[in-house]
Structure formats: structure tokens, C-alpha cells
Structure 1
Amino acid sequence: MPIPLFRPRLRAMARVKPALAAGALALAGATGAAVAEPIDYFQVEGVRYDAAVPTPESAFGYGLGERPVRHAAMVAYLRDLAQRSDRITVETAGYSHEGRPILFFQVTSPDNHARLDEIKAAHLKRTDPDSRTIARDNPAVVWLNYGVHGAESSAMDAAIPMLYHLAAAEGDAIDAMLDRSVLLITAIFNPDGHSRRINHVWRYGSEVPVTDPAHQQHQLWGTARVNHYWFDLNRQWLLQTQPESQAWLAKWHEWKPQVTADYHEMGTNSTFYFHPGIPARINPLILPRTRELAVEIAKSHVGFLDSEAKLYFGEEGFDNFYIGKGSTYPQINGSVGFLFEIGAARGGQIESPNGLRTYADNIRTHFRTSLTTVEGAIAQRTELHRFQRDFFDSAVEAGRKDDRRAFVFAAPGDAARAYHFLDVLKRHDIRVHALAEDVTVDDTRYRAGEAYVVPLTQPQYRMIAGIFDTATEFEENVFYDVSGWTLPEAYDLAYAPLGRRFDDDLLGTAIDQPAFPRYDAPPMSSYGYMFEWTPYYAPRALYRFLDAGAIARTALRPVSVDTSDGVVDFERGAVFVPLARQSVSAERLHEIAATVAGEDGVRVHAVTSGRTPTPGADLGGRDSFKVVTKPSVLLLHDDGIANYDAGEVWYQLDYRMRMPVTLRKKDQLGGLDWDRYTHIVLPGGYGVGLSDADTRRLKQWVQEGGTLVASRQGAQWAEDVLFPAKETDTNGEPTAEVEPFAYADLAIENARHVIGGALFATRVDITHPLGFGYLDSDLTSHRNTAETLRVPDSPIATVARYTDAPLVSGYASERRQSEIAGTPMMVHRRMGQGAVSLYADNPNFRATMLGTSKLFMNSLFFSTIVDRYRTPAEATAEADD
């Protein structure tokens, strides 16, 4: 009989509620064994614990650190602690994509709980410029993030001993701590990634611990790190496209904590890190006092770590520049942010140059530094109160002195894109108003009823600056993440500072809750329906018709059309769905049109005649309209393709556009029915190339009518294998003399020509079918590679090209700017019956580049309606024939 891999120890199970015990027993199964530590390993020395409060070991049937705790078991146990304790309340802040709850705990003394609303109100007065209240005796408000990266198990499981301690510890010390603080705890930030990681660890578990780093149990770092759609949620504090981040940020701003601690794991070979970060790499919006307070609070960590002779470091490796991370975002929102990173134990125990790394020790270290974070905050409580009051007062004053006065913005013709930007601003607690009167700035007319105003004199001034400002010069050129993220550019908005044009008369209604645009259903038409391609969700609308089996045509030129609303002018790319020759009933077409108007933010017009006032552009025209076919998309991933890039495509198509997309590992194309797909998407990554056999099949598939859409390194590979350069410089460039530099400057020199996630200006050919839907040619793209595409030999193949001075926001060396200037950002070429769309950048970057993502959608719907370019020689030959 085989030895069971799981031997539950249920000595204290009688103390656990029956439902909880049953849940723990149901989890019995194979997993990776690790060193199981008794509960006193996690209990604080000299502290009494209430025996009536179940220990984690009694609830789970195994000791903390022996194996990762499954999400359902953790949720049940932590809810049970809250139910038993008069110190803890719990609520569900939101749900992940896969429907798992994100728990939010409020922990303080029973007396504080009785007046929690009063404490919160007094605390929030510090953010009000009209209040001078400091409330020196108010508790310190501390936020603890557990588990934003699913692969970093100890960063999630540390919530368990922390909440157990807060529920069960007894004595004067814990009473004083809770009387002087309100602790806000989220567990778990990323439950989907967490569950993916745990399934992997349990799947490859063994009775005998395997400490070899090559063991399969220690892998799956990248795919477990992310959420369902493979997004790094620690980059979502600013961007706010995922439900997990939306849930926790709402609670964060509900409280505006004074200290925020963010727990992570890093590479196994590292020791333990905590903020402050690298002094020279601090976002200029962060006040110097923030760092000073971080240094003071960090002394509490040092005291504990030194007492146990643990190895640690600070002020190296990690920065505070990108404002969208969990430890940096708080610092421009009036909080002192801390990042904690510990060398990962991966599957449970793993060898490292610094000795054996164990999962239990990682959990304990994160738990104990959670306590020292609270202790440090309490010790600095009076200073934190003063700092937060001064932070928001100075923000309002800085906004009052800013000559820009206010920003105005609009998304002409696309209310949905404006809605998404408004939603982001409101999630960051930024006050926004509708524009009350038309105003012109730099020859751009911003219209009342379409545009919005963000006044700078408000407590969130620094956050506004972080969102709207552009920066291209930096003290250092080394970045842990992107260096440019100007969101109005990412959303392809028209925007400008108002300066002296601003006065209070321009401030219309405050936008308390942005509303997604919805339109009335068009009347039943006897001829067909038509809508613009400009709205962001027009591709979703078109797919609804195509998926129902309807025929749809797109306008190749601007056209005026007779509708039930009168004559309506449509731009290139407008979609016409006729009633003629449809296999779909007229009633069903009207039903779809009503759904599009009500759910997709797209106004649909009922057409009354096929004859148009536009000469040579009747709706049945041969040259003015072309039929659009339904895309069937295959998305390649894994095997060298970046999960982030692939996940952003998946999210764009599935979640936003409601289009099915087939996911396939890049190296598993054997046996694939290629004819099923109209489009194959090859994202970026370092290892994107296909095998020789798959490359040959890809070429054949494109020649037969398929469309390849490739971005970043995927575009580089596709350009090289599908359109190799006709001429090669065999002479080479003369070798430049090497200029020596000090080894200490190696990191800076290595990064000198790396592009730090910057924004670049392009010009789009809006007459090209793949440029349809844009009302002007200016478009900003996100770039984080130095590779460029070649200028194609076809004069119409370059759909978007970088400008001569392309850098808009972020870091790029002058050399890189010169190399990129004038090169293609997007190339679209016909190949046989098919086509190839190449993107030098990632058009779907972090689901935030709403401007360039329309180009990507055009590649799916309009790729093969593009006419071919014929050289003069080819045209002459055809004429002779």
C-alpha cells in the first residue's frame, strides 16, 4: 500500500467550527512537504494567546509553512477569526475575474470599533484644506497589502499569523497597540494567481522535500505571478483596469491610510529588503518628508532583524519612481509607502547561496515586520498626523500657484473613451467637472457637453500632476518600471492646460459618478443600420452583427447618409448593415442594433435610403464600401512569448470586445487546423520565433488569405522571416573608440540606451483602412524596446510613423530618439491573399493604451480589405495586358 503524501494533524480540530473543520479535511491531498513549524514559532515571545481562538494549524490540519494554504481554506479561517474576535471586522471588498473574494479587514480595539466612524471622520479631516484639525490622539491608520503577486506565497500567507495574532494575543502590549492604531488588511490581493501557484505546488508535491532549485515544484513563477488575464496587479494602482485593483483602491481611498506596507517575494538568492528605496530614483512628486518618516519607521524593522541576526538591505535595487506600484502610489497620496521583499522559498524549501531558504521562515519574517510596521507607525503617530495634514494643505497650495490652473480634455466622437478616463480619475479621488462653456486652446475647440475640466486647486493635485504631466529629463536613467505614463496620451485624448483661460464659470456639474454612454435604440429600419467606427467599442458592436451571421460593409471614404435622424455625416470606417441579402431576420438585426446602442456606447442610425448625397458613395457602391468578414483569432502564448503581452491581447478581445479568442502555446502548433483562423496574433517576448516547419506553414497560411498581427519582438521576427531585407551592408560601420568608465557606473551605463517605458508621438494615415476611426493623425504609442521596423518598399504600407521629434513622456536617450524618429510604428503589408500587420510597440499595453488598441482592432476587421500597391512597372504591365 503506498504511503499517503498528506498526513493531517488535527489535534486541536475540536476547537474549530464543524463547517471549517470539514472544509479543512476536504483539502487533504498531495502536496510538497516542507519543514512544519509549531504554532509557537509564529507566536511572539512573551505574549499570551487565547486558547479559544483556533490556531492556523488546528484549522488547516498542517503547520504554517508546511505547504501553501488554499484560498478557500484561508478565506474560511480568516472569516472565522473575525467572527470570533471583537477586534476584527471583515467585508468582501470585491471579486477577482474568477469570482474569488478579496477580503478587507478593519482591526482595532473594541472601544475604537464602537466609534470607528468618528475616528475615520476625524482622520479624513486632514485631507480637507478647510479643516485645521490635527487630532493628535487619533489612532495611526496603517494599511497592510498581502499577496498582490500570486507566485509570492509567503507574502499572502503572512496575513494568517498576523490576523491570528491580532485576534488571539492577550496583554497590555496588544491592547495598547490596538488602542493606538486602526489596521486595514487586504487578503488576498490576487486570489486567482495565488490559486494557480498553489495548484502547481500541490501538483508537484512529494513526501520528501526537494530543495534543488531545478525541481519542477519551484517553477511557475511568471504565470502564477499574474491574475486571470496575466496582468501584473502591482502595476494597477494607477491604471485601474482590473477588478481586483478597483476593489482595493476604493477601500484605500475610503480611509487614506498614513502608512502602507506592501509584501512581496524576490529571487531566491536575495536576502530581505525593505524601503526606503534608492535615494536618486524618487518621483519628484514625493515630498522629502515622506522619506524621512520612512527612515524613522524603518528603525523598528532594523531592531527586530538585528535581534535575530537576519541578513537584510535597503536603499538599493528598488526605486520609488513609477507611481502605479503599491509602495509608490501611496507616497503621492499622503501616505508613507513601504515595500518588503524576501528571497522566495518557491515550493517550500530551496537551496540558495545564503543557505537553505524555508517557506515558514519567510512567512514569519513578513509577519514580524508587519508588527514592526505598526509599532513604527505608532511611534511616529503625531508626526504622521502632522505630515498628512501638511501634505494635503501643501498640495492645495501648490495647485493654487500652478500657472496651468486646470486641465481640459475631451474624446471627440467617442464618449466611451472619455468615460473610461473619467472613471480612472474618480478612482483616484480627483475632482472633475463637465465643461460649462466652449473654450479654444491652441486651435483646438473644447465643447461644452463633450469636454471636462480638472481644476488643480484640490487635495489630489500631486496625483493630477502624476497623470497629466510629461517628463523627459531625469536625474538617473535606470528605472524599475516604465518612465512615462501620461494617461491622456494613452487614452488618445485632446487635452491642454487652461492657464489664464480658466475661471470658475467653466466649471459645470461635478462628475460624482461617471456613466457609461448609452443611446436609445434606433427605429426599425426598412433599409439598414449604420454607425461610426470612431467609438472605442465599435469593434464589439460590429462583432455582434457578424457573429449573428449578418453581412456588414465598411465605408472607404467619408459619406453622408439619409437616416431617420436626417442626413448624417459619417467618417471613413463607418459600418453599414444592410437588410438586403441577409440570412438574419430584420427583427433580429433591429434587436442587435438596440443592444449595440444600449450596451456598447455606439449610436446606431436607421438608414432610410441607399442613395447618398455624397457623389460616388452610394451604400451599395463597389469602390466606396467593402464587405467585412468575421475574424477568428488564434493567440499564441508561452514558450518565449511574454505573458503580459499575450494577456493584454486576451483581455482586449475577450473581456472588452466580447470576442472569442483561441489560446495556443507557440510551440504546440502541430496538428492545428490553420484554416479555422483568419488571424494569428504573435505578441512580443524574447523567444518568439516559430520552428522552421511552423514558419513554412505560417507563410503558406498568409499566402492563402490569413492575417498575421505581430508586435514588438514578434514584429521584428516576422519582418525578418517574411520580408527579409533585400540589401545588406557588407562594409560595416567603423569601430568606434571605446570610452572607459568606472565599474561603479555600470548599471547607469547599461541603461543609458534602454527605453524606460516611454510614450512616443506618431502620425497615422487616417485614410488607410487600418487608420479608420481616428479623427486626426496624432497618436501616442507606448514603447519599451529599442528595435525599429524597416521602412517598407510599398509607399502605402506604413500606417503609423514616428515623428521627427518623437519623445512625448518618459526616458529615451538622444541616440535612441534619433534612431526611432521617422521609422514605422505600424506596417501593414499584403502577402498573397493574406496580410501581415507589424507593430514596433505593444498596442494593448496594460489595457491602458486605448488610442493604439484601435489600430489593433482594425488589424482584425480590415486587414484584407486593403488594396494592393502595384509598382509602376506592374501597373504598366497590367495596362499592356
Structure 2
Amino acid sequence: MIKTWRAALTALTAIAFATPAALAEPASFFQVEGVEYDPAVTVFEDHAGYEIGERVVGYEDLLGYVRYLAQASDRLIVNEIGRSHQGRPILKFTITSPENHARLDEIRAAHLARLRGDAPADAAPIVVWINYGVHGAETSSMDAAIPFLHHFAAARGEEIEETLANTVILATVTHNPDGHARRIDHVERFSSRVPVTDPAHEIHNLWGLARVNHYGFDLNRQWLLLTQPEAVAITTAWQSWKPMVTGDYHEMGHNSPYYFHPGVETRRNPLINVRARELTYEIARRHAAFMDSEARLYATQEVFDNFYIGKGSTYPQLSGSLGILFEAGAARGGQIMSEHGLVTNADNVRTQFRTALTTVQGALDIRDDLIAFQRDFFAENARQAARANAQAWVFTAPGDPERARRFVRLLRTHDIEVYAAARDIRASRGAYRAGESFIVPARQLQHRLIRGIFERFTEFEENVFYDVSGWTLPLAYNLQYDALPGGMFSPLPLGDLAEGAFQSAPAPDRAPYGYVFDWSHTFAPRALNRVLEAGLMARAAREPFTLVTTQGDREFGRGSVFVPLARQDQTPSQIHALMETIAREDGVPVAAAATGLTRNIGRDLGAWTVFRTLTAPKVVIAFDDGISWNDAGEMWWTLDHQHEMAVLLVPASRLARLDWTNYTHLILPGGNPSMDDATKDILSRWVRSGGTVIGARQGAQWAERRLLDIEAPEPARPENDSPLRLDFNQMQVRDAEHILAGAIFETDLDVTHPIGWGYGARKLPVNRNTAFTLTRPDDPFATPVQYAQNPLLSGYASRHRLEEIAGTPAVTVRRQGRGSVILFADNPVFRATYPGTERLLMNAIFFSSVMDGSRGLYEDEAELN
């Protein structure tokens, strides 16, 4: 076939790097033995101009080829289901016979009816999902889409026709296109004419940045959390079909053999059906048979768990699907030497392709069992809902309707029905007002997923977790929520089906004196940033007050922002236009102040002891040099994506070179920051002259040791105890007792402190996945957030860790000269899924200048009385 000029140019470029040692493989290497392929369907090397393994498969080459296959074959249809942060498409391929394509909507409807028990077993083909490319650094999990889609486009014969007639296969290419592109750039940057297989070579070192998406999020933790557009696209498409089997393709360390599920038997979420594991093992026999036929190393039923329900191989299991994890030992630079020989990407691609075929074939082989399992799964959901103590869940977010609506949007993406409360409800945790509250009935198709989201789990069969153990999302969102017991309502007071769309606030009146907005709204920080970036003066309230507005009296809490008309460089009309933007685009209600007098003695709008002037923050986020890109990315996403704030990203090693007079805040995320004494000295001087350091997790530890000169205490050791001796095979389980894999803890929040402004209740759920504790400041007012005495709300923490953490600081605020050091024991924006504690970070940024230190000497609590 005559190549296009682009393919020819690509081929010439490849020659520059190709050598006799390069392990390129022709298309025949990936094709199934004994299967005839249609020569009219062009193979990859003839389309792209190079073979898999000859060089890194470029993103445009991958997309160009798979789109070509959809044009060349009537068995494949491609749809763009979303876009990444950088605007790259996420593609979903539907693979089935032409006859099935002609009635695809009918087949989907019949499949969904069948799983509900409303259609016979033979109403539709079986439905299989193959998920390629969730981690950008995992080469073969993306490139395997090439032979997989070519096989179904070009294979001939009775067997392939029967497979296509009896299945609908859905395949994603790629789940994480931004990470994929970053990997390509890295590999091409370090490519050499002579391939280097030494694992120490930089070409193989691309795990962190290339694994994740644009903002540093691990998308394989996003199936439940849905803060990233890639995850929303994938989960929406998945839920629209509810496939019967889901294959999720990954890579791990290059010394590892190939792995496939089922995972460790004792590490299973209690909501997952045991039968799912049995059927997964039946399909695993097909993978094993292929691997055995070529005497390949492989493992199953070890290391990997099925507990956290937000991973691609576990999430499906709460929606009636089998979830199967596949992991290949990575050859990220193309080929790498491992302890069991040379590992090549081309060989990994072939294995990932062939186990996708055994997944499809295994599903066909146990078709009747799969259909029965899925029907029984959802029938059991109905039975569980009928027996459940809770007939529904009700939730609200007082003072912050956007946070409640965001939660509604998450639930709806999971195909969970949510209704507006038709009337006021009173339950154990308080009142739920109609118009502000939502109800999730327990009796619906996604009952088990609803339980996974709302229920709290603190006891487990085995305390070893591959990921976070506690994900009770209403706690993460800091929602007021309750289980409504059976018999409490008949029927439930359900209003309209809710979608949770963002809602603008009404446009404010023109103010004769100034404008005020409350700090409790999700996007109040975004609104304040607009004001400060516009060069306007804004003042924050240190105390609650009652404002006389153009529409009557209105209550405002601490942190509320007052924007006067006086002493501004902009006209009243310009200020009013900005307030209209805030109401429209941020959804923040803005009140027009009719007078500077309030209804509170000593709290008028001009009172300097009550209203403090704020300055525009100029924020630096440190990354690299030991700092976790995940943690840094979560901070970046929160400020940039959520609150539209300009953020300076700087490697930790370059911090000393900045002109710090231009910046107000430095965020040190988790990880292991590596900064020299010169950097420490520069930062210390900057803080004393008015700067603010915000440290989270290990960033807080670094700040305690280096900026505050606080030495970590040595762990207490019991005296005169005989040495402990344990059997070696207990080590993994016993080690887990000393690790916090991620749980939700209760804290006590001082709502009068600027860190607590915008909150209505003192009890605040927080994420906790570090074991260290912050040192308590001498200043009794400098610990605005403290862990409760019995802190565990959801997830696992050993008794030893609970005793260590109970009553210790969760957040400390220390004044250093004119500046502040604000430390978080953990990440307040963990995986961008803690809207409840996100405000702590925003308060630390916007209100650090008003966090005064005490001037008294308090030797004991009695002196405070």
C-alpha cells in the first residue's frame, strides 16, 4: 500500500533510531494463530510507517489508526465520549456484528431490561467492557488497543462471526490521553540509537508525571469520585450499558510477572458478591490456559484487593459486573532488563491483547452464568433494600447549596436516582428543609453502590488495603445527612427528580453603600479572588452581623466579605457589574448594603476591629524534588480549576531563586520535600517579613523541622518488656496495623478562628492517611482544628494509631514575625473529593493575614477563665 506523506515521514524518522537491536514486531506477531485476516484492512505498520516495538507509538498515530479501523470495518463504531483537560478526545469503540449495530439501541434497552428481570435471558447479546489506558505511563495498556481493534475489524471465519453475533464489546482508547501524550514526550526525549535496557536509564523513569492526568490525578481512583472530566466521560458511558464483564488493563514494576484477577480472597469489600469472585476465577482459567500454552510467568489471587470501590476493577462489582484487573511487568522505554530476562513492550502488548480475547471468550463460555449472576445481583439489591434499616438517605448542605448540588451530580453520574425533598423533614441530625434537601431512596437498581457511598465501615476481615479504606462520601462532602428508617414515611416525600445543575444566584440590587456576600458558599473564594484581582478593596468580617440590605435585614457569618463603594478606583457601575458576574458565574448571592450601620452594636461596616482589609494572594505551589505530584496537582486543581486563581508552579529546588517580594503564600504539599539550608533560610526570612507557608502531610513535617525548629519526638518504648518475636508470615498483616491507608476522622473545629470561617458546625470530617502527628503550639489559640478523642468515622485505623492521633492537632497556625506557618496533618483537598475541608485551604490562603497570634502567657487552662 502506498503510504501517505505523513506516514513516510514518520518512517524516515523511525529509521534514525532503529537499530538491529531494536525489538520491533510485525503485525503477524500480534495476530492469533490459525486466524485469517482481511488484507484490505491495513495493519498498523503500513498505516503509521513503523512497527510496534520499533519506536514509541505516538498519540496521533494511535488515534489515527484506530479511527481508520472504524472506517474500514462495519463491525466497529467509534464515539467521542469526552475530552481531557488538555482537549484530547476520549474514544469509545462499540464492537459487534453489522446486524447488531443496526439495532444497537434496541439491544441496549433489552440488556438493561434483562438485568432488571424484565426480559428473557436471550433478549440481548452479552456485554463486555475493555478499558485501555487509564494510566499514561503504562505503555502496553494503551498500545494493546491496536491489535485488539484490528483483530475484530479484520479477522475472518465462523468463530469471529459467532463472537460478534453474541457479544457487544465496548473498548476505550484512551482513558487518559494527557498522560499518554506526556509519556510519549518523555520516551522520545530520551530515545537513543542503541536501545538501553538498564532500568536506571532515564527513559524508563516516567512513573509519576506520565501516570496521571493533566492535574496529577490518578484516574484509576476516580471511578467513584468523578472530579475529573476523563472519569465522568468513562463512568457515564459505562453506566449507560452496565456491562457484564469489565477488563481493566495496567502495568506494574518490570520485575513482576503478569497478573490477573481475582484478587486476594480475604481483601474484598463486604458489598461485593462472593459469586462474582467465583465467576472471575472461571474466566481466569482461560487466561491461565493461554499463558500456560506459551509457558509464561503469571500470578493471580495475590497482592491486589477489591476493597476500594473507586478503582476500575472494583467499581463495576457494585453495579452487577465482574471486574478484572490485568497487570503486566512494564517496559516503559520499549525494552528493559528484569530479574527474569528481557521485557519488551511489544511482547506485553501481545499479552494484553490476548488476555482481552480470553476475557471475551471466557464471558461467552459462561454466558448463562453471567446472565443469571447479573439478574440475581439486581434482584438481591431489591431484596436488600426491602430488608434494610434505611428506606432512604436524606442530605443537605446548610448555607452552601452548590456543595449539595455537586453531590447530586456525582450520584446521578452513577445512575443513582436523587429527588428533591417535597417537604421539610426532621431526623436525628437535624432539620432538612424542602428546597434545600435531597432524598436518595434505597430501593433502586444501584442499591449496593448507594450503600457503598453512604454507609460507614470500620471493621474488616483483614486490615491490609491497597488503597483508601474509608470513602463515605457524605462525610467527605461535610454534608448533613441521615438514614431515614423504614416505616418513617409512607410514601417517601419525593419531589422532582434532581440533576444538581449549577445554579446562578439572583442579580443583586444596585447598592447605595456597598456589597456583601457570605463566605459559606462553595465559590465564595472564587468570588473574593475576582474582587481582589480587580484591584478592589474588600474587608472580611471577624464576627457575625445583621446587615440592613435594600431588601431587608439579613444575617451574615464570620468571613463574610464586604466590598464598599467608597475609596475604590472603580465606579459604582463597574463594581455592580462585577457583583452581577459573581452572582451569575459563581452562584454566590450578593446583598446590597443600604447603610454602613448594622443591627449589632460595635459591628458597623466601618469597624476596623470587626472588618479587616484583605490583600490579593499570590500563591506558589512547590512540586518535584521529592514532593508528590498527586498532592501538588490536587492543590493546583483546587485553586486553578475550582477557584480560577493564577498559581505559580515551581520545583522545590528552584524556590531559592524566586523574588519572594512578589508572592504571599507558599504551599508545600505531601511527599518528601528535599530543600537545602539556603532555601530554608530564604523562606524563614520571607515568612518573618509577612509571607505564609502552608504545609500539608510531609510538607507540614518539613516545615515543623526546618522552619520552626521542632524536633519530632521519639516514639515511647515500654520499659522492661521482653523483646517481641513474631512469625515471618505474619509480617504483611501486622505491618498493616501501623499504616493508615486512608480513613475519615472526626475533628473539632474552632468556627470562630479564621481557619473555621464559613463553617456552621464544630464537628468536621477530615481525610487521614498519614501516621505522624503535629506538635501542639504553646499558644492555646493556635490549634483551630483538633482530632476528636474517638476520631474514627469510616475506614480502618488500628487501636494503636487511634490512641496516638486522638486529641492531637489536625491544623496548627503559628505566627512567625509578620508572617504565618499553617500546617495540616493531612491533605485538605485529598483527590479533590473533600469539599468539606477544601474551605480550610482557602481560608488559610485568604485569611492568613488576620490570623493573629495571642500576646498573653497562658500556663494552664485556669488562666483562660
Q: For the superposition of Structure 1 and Structure 2, which TM-score range results when normalised by the shorter chain?
A: over 0.9
Match of 2:295 in 1: 309
Residue among 320, 328, 332 paired with 1:334 = 320
Q: Does residue 1:769 correspond to 2:758, yes or no?
A: no
SS of equivalent residue, structure 1 residue 151: coil
Whole-angstrom distance in 2 between the partners of 1:109 and 1:27: 38
SS of equivalent residue, structure 2 residue 849: coil
Whole-angstrom distance in 1 between the partners of 2:440 and 2:476: 17
Match of 2:570 in 1: 584
Q: Does residue 1:540 correspond to 2:526, yes or no?
A: yes
- The answer to whether the Cα contact below 8 Å between 1:258 and 1:336 also exists between their aligned partners in 2 is yes
Match of 1:604 in 2: 590
TM-score, normalised with respect to structure 2? 0.97
Residue among 329, 349, 353 paired with 1:363 = 349
Whole-angstrom distance in 2 between the partners of 1:225 and 1:654: 21
- The answer to whether the Cα contact below 8 Å between 1:523 and 1:564 also exists between their aligned partners in 2 is yes
User: What 5-or-longer segments of structure 1 have no aligned partner?
Assistant: 1-11, 875-881
Task: State the AA in 2 paired with 1:699.
Answer: S
Whole-angstrom distance in 1 between the partners of 2:320 and 2:6: 40
Task: State the AA in 1 paired with 2:811.
Answer: M
After superposition, give the CA deviation of every residue in 1:152-177 in whole Å (9 maximum; x if it has no partner): 01100000110011111111111111
Q: Does residue 1:49 correspond to 2:37, yes or no?
A: yes
Whole-angstrom distance in 2 between the partners of 1:484 and 1:32: 49
Per the TM alignment, residue 96 of structure 1 is displaced from its structure 2 partner at its CA by: 0.3
SS of equivalent residue, structure 2 residue 765: strand
Match of 1:40 in 2: 28
Per the TM alignment, residue 725 of structure 1 is displaced from its structure 2 partner at its CA by: 4.3
Match of 2:863 in 1: none
Match of 1:568 in 2: 554
Query: Aligned in 2, Cα 1:24/1:420: closer, same or farther, shift over 3 Å?
Result: farther
Query: Aligned in 2, Cα 1:560/1:137: closer, same or farther, shift over 3 Å?
Result: closer
Match of 2:457 in 1: 471
Residue among 46, 71, 86 paired with 2:59 = 71
Whole-angstrom distance in 2 between the partners of 1:328 and 1:642: 25
Match of 1:285 in 2: 271
1:681-720 aligned within 5 A: 681-685=667-671, 687-720=672-705
Task: State the AA in 2 paired with 1:96.
Answer: S
Query: Aligned in 2, Cα 1:379/1:761: closer, same or farther, shift over 3 Å?
Result: same
SS of equivalent residue, structure 2 residue 655: coil
SS of equivalent residue, structure 2 residue 79: strand
Whole-angstrom distance in 1 between the partners of 2:532 and 2:492: 43
SS of equivalent residue, structure 1 residue 681: strand
Q: Does residue 1:320 correspond to 2:306, yes or no?
A: yes
1:289-438 aligned within 5 A: 289-438=275-424
Match of 1:83 in 2: 71
Match of 2:438 in 1: 452
1:88-99 aligned within 5 A: 88-99=76-87
Whole-angstrom distance in 2 between the partners of 1:727 and 1:349: 44
Whole-angstrom distance in 2 between the partners of 1:13 and 1:313: 44
Match of 1:853 in 2: 838
Larger displacement relative to structure 2 (305-314 or 116-125): 116-125
After superposition, give the CA deviation of every residue in 1:3-43 in whole Å (9 maximum; x if it has no partner): xxxxxxxxx444xxx58747956976966873111111011
Per the TM alignment, residue 621 of structure 1 is displaced from its structure 2 partner at its CA by: 0.5
Per the TM alignment, residue 752 of structure 1 is displaced from its structure 2 partner at its CA by: 1.1
Match of 1:7 in 2: none
Whole-angstrom distance in 1 between the partners of 2:541 and 2:444: 46
Query: Aligned in 2, Cα 1:29/1:642: closer, same or farther, shift over 3 Å?
Result: farther
Whole-angstrom distance in 2 between the partners of 1:548 and 1:25: 52
Task: State the AA in 1 paired with 2:260.
Answer: F
Larger displacement relative to structure 2 (716-725 or 118-127): 716-725
Residue among 132, 136, 144 paired with 1:158 = 144
Q: Does residue 1:745 correspond to 2:733, yes or no?
A: no
Match of 2:862 in 1: none
Query: Aligned in 2, Cα 1:88/1:579: closer, same or farther, shift over 3 Å?
Result: same
Match of 1:6 in 2: none
Per the TM alignment, residue 104 of structure 1 is displaced from its structure 2 partner at its CA by: 0.6
Per the TM alignment, residue 585 of structure 1 is displaced from its structure 2 partner at its CA by: 2.1
Match of 1:878 in 2: none
TM-score, normalised with respect to structure 1? 0.95
SS of equivalent residue, structure 2 residue 811: strand
Query: Aligned in 2, Cα 1:694/1:481: closer, same or farther, shift over 3 Å?
Result: same
Match of 2:634 in 1: 648
Whole-angstrom distance in 2 between the partners of 1:765 and 1:321: 34
Per the TM alignment, residue 867 of structure 1 is displaced from its structure 2 partner at its CA by: 2.0
SS of equivalent residue, structure 1 residue 750: helix
Match of 1:138 in 2: 124
Match of 2:659 in 1: 673
- The answer to whether the Cα contact below 8 Å between 2:14 and 2:54 also exists between their aligned partners in 1 is no
Per the TM alignment, residue 255 of structure 1 is displaced from its structure 2 partner at its CA by: 0.6
Per the TM alignment, residue 721 of structure 1 is displaced from its structure 2 partner at its CA by: 2.5
- The answer to whether the Cα contact below 8 Å between 1:23 and 1:73 also exists between their aligned partners in 2 is no
Residue among 417, 429, 442 paired with 2:428 = 442
Whole-angstrom distance in 1 between the partners of 2:711 and 2:180: 49
1:799-838 aligned within 5 A: 799-838=784-823
- The answer to whether the Cα contact below 8 Å between 1:127 and 1:388 also exists between their aligned partners in 2 is yes
Task: State the AA in 1 paired with 2:98.
Answer: P
Match of 1:864 in 2: 849
Query: Aligned in 2, Cα 1:731/1:61: closer, same or farther, shift over 3 Å?
Result: closer
Aligned length: 857
Per the TM alignment, residue 751 of structure 1 is displaced from its structure 2 partner at its CA by: 1.1
Task: State the AA in 1 paired with 2:832.
Answer: A
After superposition, give the CA deviation of every residue in 1:577-612 in whole Å (9 maximum; x if it has no partner): 001000122222111111111111210111110011
Task: State the AA in 2 paired with 1:704.
Answer: S
After superposition, give the CA deviation of every residue in 1:446-473 in whole Å (9 maximum; x if it has no partner): 1111111111111101000100111111
After superposition, give the CA deviation of every residue in 1:225-262 in whole Å (9 maximum; x if it has no partner): 00000000000000000000100111101111000000
After superposition, give the CA deviation of every residue in 1:839-865 in whole Å (9 maximum; x if it has no partner): 001001000011111000000000011
Q: Does residue 1:258 correspond to 2:244, yes or no?
A: yes
Query: Aligned in 2, Cα 1:735/1:871: closer, same or farther, shift over 3 Å?
Result: farther
Per the TM alignment, residue 517 of structure 1 is displaced from its structure 2 partner at its CA by: 2.2
Whole-angstrom distance in 2 between the partners of 1:670 and 1:746: 43
SS of equivalent residue, structure 2 residue 214: coil
Larger displacement relative to structure 2 (506-515 or 355-364): 506-515
Per the TM alignment, residue 666 of structure 1 is displaced from its structure 2 partner at its CA by: 0.5
SS of equivalent residue, structure 2 residue 616: coil
Query: Aligned in 2, Cα 1:147/1:834: closer, same or farther, shift over 3 Å?
Result: same
Whole-angstrom distance in 2 between the partners of 1:271 and 1:279: 20
Larger displacement relative to structure 2 (273-282 or 65-74): 65-74
- The answer to whether the Cα contact below 8 Å between 1:561 and 1:570 also exists between their aligned partners in 2 is yes
Match of 1:274 in 2: 260
Query: Aligned in 2, Cα 1:289/1:20: closer, same or farther, shift over 3 Å?
Result: farther
Per the TM alignment, residue 385 of structure 1 is displaced from its structure 2 partner at its CA by: 1.0
Whole-angstrom distance in 1 between the partners of 2:699 and 2:165: 57
Per the TM alignment, residue 115 of structure 1 is displaced from its structure 2 partner at its CA by: 1.7
Whole-angstrom distance in 2 between the partners of 1:167 and 1:777: 60
- The answer to whether the Cα contact below 8 Å between 2:260 and 2:324 also exists between their aligned partners in 1 is yes
Give the root-mean-square deviation of aligned CA atoms: 1.8
- The answer to whether the Cα contact below 8 Å between 1:32 and 1:204 also exists between their aligned partners in 2 is no
Per the TM alignment, residue 317 of structure 1 is displaced from its structure 2 partner at its CA by: 1.0
SS of equivalent residue, structure 1 residue 103: strand
Task: State the AA in 1 paired with 2:564.
Answer: P
Match of 1:511 in 2: 497
Task: State the AA in 1 paired with 2:495.
Answer: T
SS of equivalent residue, structure 1 residue 351: strand
Q: Give the % identical residues.
A: 52
Task: State the AA in 2 paired with 1:55.
Answer: V
Task: State the AA in 2 paired with 1:838.
Answer: L
SS of equivalent residue, structure 2 residue 236: helix
SS of equivalent residue, structure 2 residue 654: coil
Match of 1:781 in 2: 766
After superposition, give the CA deviation of every residue in 1:550-596 in whole Å (9 maximum; x if it has no partner): 00001100001111121111001100000100012222211111111
Query: Aligned in 2, Cα 1:839/1:474: closer, same or farther, shift over 3 Å?
Result: same
Q: Does residue 1:663 correspond to 2:649, yes or no?
A: yes
- The answer to whether the Cα contact below 8 Å between 1:761 and 1:779 also exists between their aligned partners in 2 is yes
- The answer to whether the Cα contact below 8 Å between 1:519 and 1:598 also exists between their aligned partners in 2 is yes
Q: Does residue 1:62 correspond to 2:47, yes or no?
A: no
